[in-house]
Amino acid sequence: MELEMHTVLAQLLRLAWIAGTLPILIASIPIPKLNFFHTILLGFARRGKIMHSSSQKFTLPQRFFLHFYIVASIWTTFLLVATWCYAYTVVPPVRESSAYSTITSYLIGGSALRTDSTTMFQRHAVWQAVFLLLLMEAQVLRRLFETIYVFKYSPSARMHILGYLTGMFFYLAAPLSLCADCALDVFYFLVNLVTKFIVVGKDHMPPVEVELWQVVNPLIRLGWRHWIGAAVFFWGWIHQQRCHKILGSLRDSRQAEEYAIPHGDWFEIVSSPHYLSEMVIYGSFVVATGGSDLTIWLLFVFVLANLSFAAVETHRWYHQKFEDYPSSRFAVIPYIL
């Protein structure tokens, strides 16, 4: 039954990413009969400078992007802390049973959890989820900081309400997709913990013993592909930070309405390097998992499709806005798009 529930959660997430990706792929097919669908989808996707000033119906201020990263930071932090506690308490690396945290005994009614009750695959999946959520935490916290202190949204910048809802869903589903294989186990762990607290009371809860080395050691021992994935992640992370700083510096004040051609870093290659670096970041999750997690693959494909669709329109806007716009720049993926 538990395995079936895990499968249901993973399938729901996969269906969600497929449902989000297919309309974008269909709208991107260069067939005249599909132009109306492309126009409709583009109306939902437009925001900021590429949204027509006359298209104000069902829109929200673009500064509401802040909501995404507040929610993402809280949600990702919660998943990270809960999964890390579960990993340390219930699925530690193989060691003497005496070294287990005392949390284990009261969660399961006083009996010790045997090391062999958790398969190697389950242990690996849980600690891998912690690793991926740590990377996601670094991403959403930086985006939260940038939205508050770096970006200077124009008062007139708007986005469609469906785009807002899509963004909110993304930042709830993306972190969950990174820990889908163990999310329900973590949920049951928290329910049991809260139940035990309510039943026995705070004064009767056993003390928590934490060995710092055992908290981080399983992450270090995960494997080479995880660290290659982390290297790819921070490569994209650093470039996105630089590109966002460039975009933020284009406006001297929050009241400025004029746009300028951005230069520097990956802007010399593509029109939307912040989208390119986002693709690199989510691609790093695929690398870290060795390409073995279908849910993360579908998340990555959604990011590719969504950002490519937006980048092509941004690229077109730049060429229409600036006669001297560099013709050598690609939209988002060098030498491809």
Identify the CA nearest to 238 among candidates 285, 286, 276: 276
255 has pLDDT over 80: no
Task: Give me the mean pLDDT over the 191-211 stretch.
Answer: 77
**3-state secondary structure string, 111-136?**
CCCCHHHCCHHHHHHHHHHHHHHHHH
Query: What mean pLDDT is reported for the chain?
Result: 84
- Report d(CA 231, CA 224) in Å as an integer: 11
- Report d(CA 43, CA 205) in Å as an integer: 55
Buried b (16+ CB within 10 A) or exposed e, 187-216: eebeeebeebeeeeeeeeeeeeeeeeeeee
Token match 């939260």: residue? 144
The dihedrals phi and psi of 47, each to the nearest 5 degrees, come to -160, 160
Q: Which residues pair with 270 in a beta bridge?
A: 330
Count CB neighbours of 20 within 10 A.
20
104 has pLDDT over 70: no
- This prediction has a pTM of 0.87
- Report d(CA 92, CA 99) in Å as an integer: 10
pLDDT at 126: 92
- Which residues 6+ apart lie within 8 Å of 95 measured at CB? 115, 214
214 has pLDDT over 60: yes
- 3-state class of 270 per DSSP? strand
- Report d(CA 217, CA 93) in Å as an integer: 9
Residues 259-272 have pLDDT tens digits of 889 999 999 999 99
In which band, very low, low, confident or very high, does the pLDDT at 34 lie, cut at 50, 70 and 90?
confident
